[in-house]
Structure 1
């Protein structure tokens, strides 16, 4: 027990105060994450949209995320990560507040696009900010700490959102606005006069085997583009978690919104408890390519489990494995991107990394709802699980080519 406690404590050692403050900002922001997990159910039960319409609206969320990720990366290199994060957090507040007034298919699709665009400008700037306030040897753990905050908020947000949705779906939009406002206040208070401590050129030269190479352009870096394409296919499969999975719980297992919120929140709870320890244990014992191979394979197996029905306990087991796969994959995608970047184009590389995940959201929800509607959920989970396993093989191959440590 003492040895386990020592490992747990060591996993948090060496992280800068700024890294903890960034995590606090993310925690507050993500505690308000109530809209996206329930958006599919909201459109189905309240607005009576068809499954294709739901898929298109969720696709608009992905399209906005693509535009926001590209714009965020470009703005970060031009204006700096601080200003981009502040205006993104402030900008989403009025959008969340007026969103319940848009109940037509066309109106909601446009508003979801606008909301996603403004919100996802934040991502590349935040990723660069995390790297700049972390020690070079702690980059992956700094990202894991930030993700831990995301998932702690995500474990609270859907559970609270499920409760509020029982009264009115409007409250999940207001909750998101309150979370963004709180995050903006805390971020401005702590970071308006704080200077970055890390020179990312040190990260670059320390992390690549050929540090003397000239600085690359993210959008012409062939190996990184292939890596990003694999990330895109990975996220198209993995993030059925945010769209069709909640519909599956409702339509196949007849779960209430409060139960669905607890299941989705359980994912965040598992990641909060175990991600920092897991990353600490594996990052110096295995290569990045080995870790990401096993992480994606575990995620794929968790979706395949959904083809069997052993009750709600089985659903929690599948969610536990899905969370484990996420812990072994997503922190290292950001690490690969920041290691590949040079001193003056971190925003572009992190923007392209975010873009690969955001681009997938254009198609993920539509493909998921289309397969579920025309071929059934079993086919959807077979396709999802197989895709993730193939992505694991792809990660193993391309990271070896990139010579990333």
Structure 2
């Protein structure tokens, strides 16, 4: 069985372009140092002595900045190209992270966190366009999974390393995170300079089409006039509200209800990254094409529902946490790559950046609402009400994707991307 798993794991990487491997390397370097956001809610409540409500407002500022940064990043990607946007995003994020070491006043921290997410989240639409540009349609889902694999390997390292760095002092988190941003930007400049990318193969320009339209009508150039895509974005927002509780409020739950220290929380959180790193690629390779993308997304949402429902059961903290991590991890492996591929399939000629920006905006809006919703519900009614609420949101999102699938499931196209390196 292990031999078969290894064979699938190895075969899953076949055919993925060199450029995707290099983009994944840059992401790995950056994510290995990305522990500041992981521990941000704990930093605000433990180090700066903010109340849960105050921490929620700061995290909400992160979401507002992410929304602005994603929108601006998408527009800039269509105008100046993904390469410049990614380099500047990483570099400016490094500057803000290091500045956060000396900030403690509530209003100033809110402004700094807003600035951090504004510059860092501009990276997302640019990076999505870069992946689509360098990955042929037949390997696009696996290309997304490889990139996510690098993110999750970094996610496995960052919380565990962050938990150790906290024992040395909270400022170490921001210094290491900032320096790895600079390192990732340097790698990007070195690996994706015009001279380095001459041998890279890019996709041929072909417009997206609707699978259920026999005349192969191309999609509108604006995602804001594309009804099915707007519905997809809305349901993505709902499922993101559910998943974001893992980032923003579950660490608080572990701290306040289970009385775990930061190192234990970091190690448990790291299990998510390790699982996704080890399993997602061979799993995607095995199941891709067997069902529609939205069917896989719905199954992932069912696992989200199960994950948060576990906290409502009379289980020991260790067992509840382990079952939660298993369910949320496998749910993520189904929801994230297949919903991203769905978004790629809708990106039309000349507006790939805008389409991917709108998809990223759904997560940015969730980053505004999720921490505010989570912390306010916790402060007023407790964690149990929050877990019940997010379970219902997962169910609602499942229903939405089921209705959307009956209207339009786009074919897997090869995108026409108006970008320049």
TM-score by length of 2: 0.93
Q: Which residue of 1 aligns with 2:153?
A: 152
Alignment CA distance shift 1:103-1:208 (3 Å): farther
User: Matches of 2:344 and 2:218 in 1, distance apart?
Assistant: 15
Q: What CA deviation, in whole Å up to 9, does each residue of 1:356-395 have, x standing for no partner?
A: 1101111110110111111111111111112112212211
Matches within 5 A, 1:148-297: 148-193=149-194, 194=197, 197-199=201-203, 201-202=205-206, 204=208, 211-297=216-302
User: Matches of 1:323 and 1:346 in 2, distance apart?
Assistant: 28
Q: CA deviation at 1:206?
A: 9.8
Matches within 5 A, 1:31-70: 31-70=32-71
Give 1 or 2: higher helix fraction: 1
SS in 2 for 1:284: coil
How many residue pairs align between the two structures? 405
Gaps of 5+ in 1: none
Q: Which residue of 2 aligns with 1:351?
A: 357
Q: What CA deviation, in whole Å up to 9, does each residue of 1:199-240 have, x standing for no partner?
A: 363373598865442543111111111111111111112110
SS in 2 for 1:201: coil
User: Matches of 1:211 and 1:110 in 2, distance apart?
Assistant: 47
Q: Which residue of 1 aligns with 2:396?
A: 390
User: Matches of 1:52 and 1:302 in 2, distance apart?
Assistant: 25
Q: What CA deviation, in whole Å up to 9, does each residue of 1:174-215 have, x standing for no partner?
A: 111111111111111110111562336337359886544254
Q: Which residue of 1 aligns with 2:19?
A: 18
User: Matches of 2:255 and 2:345 in 1, distance apart?
Assistant: 41
Q: Which residue of 2 aligns with 1:93?
A: 94
Does 1:335 pair with 2:341? Answer: yes
Alignment CA distance shift 1:130-1:208 (3 Å): farther
Answer yes or no: is the 8 Å Cα contact 1:216–1:342 preserved in 2. yes
Alignment CA distance shift 1:207-1:341 (3 Å): farther
User: Matches of 1:52 and 1:297 in 2, distance apart?
Assistant: 30
User: Matches of 1:338 and 1:125 in 2, distance apart?
Assistant: 13
Q: What CA deviation, in whole Å up to 9, does each residue of 1:87-108 have, x standing for no partner?
A: 1111111111111211011010
Matches within 5 A, 1:313-332: 313-332=319-338
Q: Which residue of 2 aligns with 1:302?
A: 307
CA RMSD after TM alignment? 1.6
Alignment CA distance shift 1:115-1:244 (3 Å): same
Q: Which residue of 1 aligns with 2:372?
A: 366
Q: CA deviation at 1:42?
A: 0.8
TM-score by length of 1: 0.97
Farther-moved stretch of structure 1 (82-91 vs 192-201): 192-201
Q: CA deviation at 1:116?
A: 0.2
Answer yes or no: is the 8 Å Cα contact 1:215–1:341 preserved in 2. no
User: Matches of 1:333 and 1:288 in 2, distance apart?
Assistant: 7
SS in 2 for 1:49: coil
Q: Which residue of 2 aligns with 1:130?
A: 131
User: Matches of 1:175 and 1:28 in 2, distance apart?
Assistant: 11
Alignment CA distance shift 1:399-1:179 (3 Å): farther
Answer yes or no: is the 8 Å Cα contact 1:207–1:339 preserved in 2. no
Q: What CA deviation, in whole Å up to 9, does each residue of 1:242-266 have, x standing for no partner?
A: 1110000000000110010011111
User: Matches of 1:138 and 1:228 in 2, distance apart?
Assistant: 23
